[in-house]
Chain A
Amino acid sequence: MASIVVKDLTLTYGSVNVLDKLNIDVAEGEFIVLLGPSGCGKSTLLNCIAGLLDITDGQIWIKGKNVTWEEPKDRGIGMVFQSYALYPQMSVRGNLSFGLKNAGLPRDEIDKRIARAAKILQIEPLLDRKPAALSGGQRQRVAIGRALVRDVDVFLFDEPLSNLDAKLRSELRVEIKRLHANLENTMVYVTHDQIEALTLADRIAVMRGGVIQQLADPKTIYNKPANLFVAGFIGSPAMTMLPGRVENGAGEATFVVGAERIPLAGYDGGGTGATGRDAILGVRPEHVAIRTGDAPGVPATVDIDEPMGSDSLVWLRLPNGQTISVRTSAEHGFKPGQPVRLAADISKASLFDRETEQRL
């Protein structure tokens, strides 16, 4: 059974369609990440699901119930915000119990739930402190606890880790993943950070301009991006895009870029259907090998070397002037200015139509 169903959701501000006929089904216990650049409508979608924004058209179902017109508190959701949004004048205990008191729960039940949440999140020693006396990480734990005590099936996260420093962020990321594994709740998580998306999600919805570009598991999103936008947005450093043309050469499709011809035999589907089209070939830095000597491949010149500790990122210049980044081992020994040859693993590359920007 689907936990959250969004049907034809449309949200209009004046004449601007912020969300346009958006559909998404979230399965029970699934971890969905809404990913996209700022202003793509991901937080807006989350607020619509939470009931904090009135929608213009469409429906929202949670756990088989049409909640389109329900108040946030009646939707069976817990929400965690980017700025933590803790009530400053209340202690941690007060923050956790506020929603439960509003719901009219008996005292012992409230205490029981707070104790359980505090134990899970390891915030027991902090219960009597004020939010101002907590560190950023502790505050976000309390904010998660506030969703936890509501004992709901759906958790909504609105960029919960964006305000934390890098170290805390990776720590809490693991904790959220563990939390999901233990609780098996449905979670909808909004972020602009692709690492968070790739590490946490069961499925990622990449959004742009109020439209979902691709909804798939992280592996598919990374390896088989549905269009040029997804390909360029996911991956750091970004995929290198080579504009060229697909031609028929000796019975198989060949990608022609400048004077170079790259056979597409290894490409998913062979690329034969795309013959004669202007296309863009996208290759990720780790799918290109640098070779020296007379090995076959596209000629290039080493430009800059960026050592990153565990591996190294080498930027090279192609004959047509374009730069390409290649991830290689830390001890590669390439010098700037050195002429080399590049061989891309075509089976892992992506081919896009230059006009429609869709994957071929």
Chain B
Amino acid sequence: MDAVMRAAAIYFFLLIVFRLAGQRTLANLTTFDFVLLLVIAEATQQGLLGADFSVTTAFLVIVTLVGIDIGLSLLKNRFVGVDKLLEGVPLVLVADGKPLKARMERARIDESDVLMAARERQGLERLDQIRYAVLERTGQISIIPKRQPAL
């Protein structure tokens, strides 16, 4: 009972905090983000298990976390509203090579982030080679290159 309540409380707390922090928060994992993630995991673990070292508690915590996750995924599938609420919506950042400045600013993304994604994923060199750049719900930026003119 105790372990289940703890796990559920932690699950929803983390869900809310990371949802409110924004998609980009830990999306492209720099070394420091990775360290931060480990520290957060460590802080969570204490509250999750307390001083209880039993295998049963570990099982209960895992089952609760996975169970809530499955439950929410079913809800997300069923209701579009829940899906948007929990996962957010995708956002077009660049259309036809033109950056949509206001959107990018609100989403805390600058041109260099878009260009980095363009280099990494498509090997593009300049903004005008991008047809669309989309901030996905995962926080990743996906790039659709302009079609090369036929030779």
- Answer yes or no: do A and B interact: no
* Interfacial residues, chain B to chain A (CB-CB below 8 A): none
